[in-house]
Chain A
């Protein structure tokens, strides 16, 4: 149902990330956590950004709203409604943040301010980004808690975060983020800290809200199951680079990158025949010491000399499907 609502005819781009590179200066030299990525989030879609720990997916998300602390440096462009979020002055950015683009975090335990009540935290966002009066804001706060499925919202408003369970806190976090009806929701592993049943509820809630509010969602996760359940398209990240982008069904059915194939092979499938899981040999390269060619080359089963020579470009390999693998034909054959 949700997938059908994705815009198939003529994608309308909400956010265009172009050549985004985030570098952290360390004593051991600069570390490129995000290594020049291009990515677009379309209006009304849920785009999954998936990768291992340290692949740069969270940093990508935080870079878009300039939430990277020094010594981090961000280059490239993030075009949002004709404005480059990475170039506009801080004052203008404050209007975009929270109002047009909101974000939810992995740890609902720490992402809420422990000394303010839920009412205060929702109200603060409403006051900052809407012109609503006092009474209207109070009503809206109750609406929002209803919207995210918190029972007896009116009574729960004056509770403090510590009086909520983890799943409830994530709902509260979502309610606060949605207060000013953002057009884009950045979700940084919103379900990782939750147990599986709660995780399922939160994801369903996100999809439902996407449908009702017509916003786009950029969902960062390391969980391919979450991607399969939630996303319209998926971008696979490795070592700070985008390896493959495409519709979820296409990417999962016919991966066109050796790394994606490896990822998919490393999770149990629901099939009747039990097969041993295949892990990807080796470890990801250090972002301060990337190989000159394809970042995945040292661990790749399909590797050739060409892969080691220069970094492959992200090229179309199918309808709406891009891959940065020189041997995507072999990969897709191996997958089927």
Chain B
């Protein structure tokens, strides 16, 4: 009898622990990433830009744990300094899309009407193009560089947030509590911001986490293609591109920045998952 009860209770308990562990490990990874991004100088053993002709293309060793590249630059230092640029990309490339997207999504979701129809057409038009291709096209027009990359991502990226929030707001405004708020004499702004938004924002926040991982990948892709951060700046995509000619002789040049991307992306994903479980409103 007690054995039956215990097997029933077990899944619940383990599920709770997994949620906690997911959130905690995500936060741990991102906290570490943030620290590296803010004060890379404390952790990087060498100047990331200093050439050392006495130590070209060295395999990982105690002196250079991640090896050196073809100019003798310490890869560990370059990967650490790259945190600054890549975390900056994660934030700056998503902050405009999330703010503008939420504004548009909340407005068209709540009021509907012809702006909603227009919004639908704009979304259709923008998502018809593959995201990367569209961003590359815009960057190609504006010219390479981080600022232009932010602009390009912003021009396209807001529609994903707007679409998500619009759908959620439309669901929430059908709920009785929205009508209850109206009948209590609250204005539209109060109903949207205080009542609907907290109930609707969770998917947006979770997507934000995923999106930060995606824009790091995007930033790296553009860096790899020479359209994002410009050499000699240390950025993971640039570093991977640096190593592409030495894949057979110096695998460590590309591998370690690649791993950094994977770990950071994993951190964002774990945090997003953990938040999704934590923020789900209880009925």
Which residues does A use to contact B, with CB under 8 Å? 62, 65, 67, 70, 93-99, 101-103, 105-107, 109-116, 124-125, 128-129, 160, 162, 173, 176-177, 186
Question: Least Cβ distance of B191 to chain A in Å?
Answer: 10
- Which one of B46-54, B94-102, B172-180 is at the A interface? B172-180
Number of B interface residues, CB 8 Å? 21
- Which one of B70-78, B131-139, B158-166, B182-190 is at the A interface? B182-190
Q: Judge whether B185 and A128 touch: CB under 8 Å.
A: yes
The 6 closest A-B pairs by CB, nearest first: A98-B185, A98-B184, A97-B185, A111-B176, A103-B183, A110-B176
Q: A105 to chain B: which residues have CB within 8 Å?
A: 176, 179-180
Among B182, B186, B282, point to the contact of A160 (Cβ < 8 A): B282
Question: Least Cβ distance of A135 to chain B in Å?
Answer: 22
Contacts A111-B176, A114-B283, A115-B198; A176 near B184 (Cβ below 8 A): yes
Question: Least Cβ distance of B168 to chain A in Å?
Answer: 13
Q: Judge whether A114 and B180 touch: CB under 8 Å.
A: no
| B11 proximal to A (CB < 8 A) | no
| B195 proximal to A (CB < 8 A) | yes
Question: Least Cβ distance of A93 to chain B in Å?
Answer: 8
Q: Judge whether B185 and A94 touch: CB under 8 Å.
A: yes
Question: Which of B175, B180, B187, B198 is most buried by chain A, counting CB atoms within 10 A of its CB?
Answer: B180
Question: Least Cβ distance of B154 to chain A in Å?
Answer: 29
Distance of A110 Cα from B184 Cα, bound (Å): 15
Contacts A110-B177, A113-B177; A67 near B182 (Cβ below 8 A): yes
| B230 proximal to A (CB < 8 A) | no
Taking CB as reference atom, which chain B residue is nearest A101? B183
Q: A173 to chain B: which residues have CB within 8 Å?
A: 180
Q: Judge whether A162 and B283 touch: CB under 8 Å.
A: yes
| B199 proximal to A (CB < 8 A) | yes
Which residues does B use to contact A, with CB under 8 Å? 112, 175-177, 179-187, 190, 194-195, 198-199, 281-283
Question: Least Cβ distance of A11 to chain B in Å?
Answer: 26
Among B182, B185, B283, point to the contact of A99 (Cβ < 8 A): B185
Does more than half of chain B's interface fall in helix, strand or loop, or is it mixed? Answer: helix
Question: Least Cβ distance of A49 to chain B in Å?
Answer: 17
Q: A186 to chain B: which residues have CB within 8 Å?
A: 183
Contacts A110-B176, A113-B195, A115-B198; A98 near B183 (Cβ below 8 A): yes
Question: Least Cβ distance of B280 to chain A in Å?
Answer: 10
Q: Judge whether A97 and B282 touch: CB under 8 Å.
A: no
Q: B187 to chain A: which residues have CB within 8 Å?
A: 94
Q: A111 to chain B: which residues have CB within 8 Å?
A: 176-177, 179-180
Given contacts A98-B183, A110-B175, 17 further A-B contacts (CB under 8 A): A67-B182, A102-B183, A103-B183, A105-B179, A105-B180, A111-B176, A111-B177, A111-B179, A112-B177, A113-B177, A113-B181, A113-B195, A124-B194, A125-B184, A128-B185, A177-B184, A186-B183
Q: A99 to chain B: which residues have CB within 8 Å?
A: 185
Q: B199 to chain A: which residues have CB within 8 Å?
A: 113-115
Distance of A105 Cα from B176 Cα, bound (Å): 8
Q: Judge whether A128 and B186 touch: CB under 8 Å.
A: yes
Question: Can you report 29 A-B residue pairs in the complex whose CB atoms are below 8 A from each other?
Answer: A65-B183, A67-B179, A67-B183, A94-B186, A97-B182, A97-B184, A97-B185, A98-B185, A105-B180, A106-B176, A109-B283, A110-B176, A110-B177, A111-B179, A112-B180, A113-B177, A113-B195, A114-B281, A115-B198, A115-B199, A116-B194, A116-B198, A124-B186, A128-B186, A129-B185, A160-B282, A173-B180, A177-B184, A186-B183
Taking CB as reference atom, which chain A residue is nearest B178? A113
Distance of A114 Cα from B196 Cα, bound (Å): 10
Distance of A114 Cα from B112 Cα, bound (Å): 24
Distance of A111 Cα from B182 Cα, bound (Å): 11
Question: Least Cβ distance of A234 to chain B in Å?
Answer: 23
Distance of A134 Cα from B177 Cα, bound (Å): 24
Q: Judge whether B177 and A128 touch: CB under 8 Å.
A: no
Q: A129 to chain B: which residues have CB within 8 Å?
A: 184-185
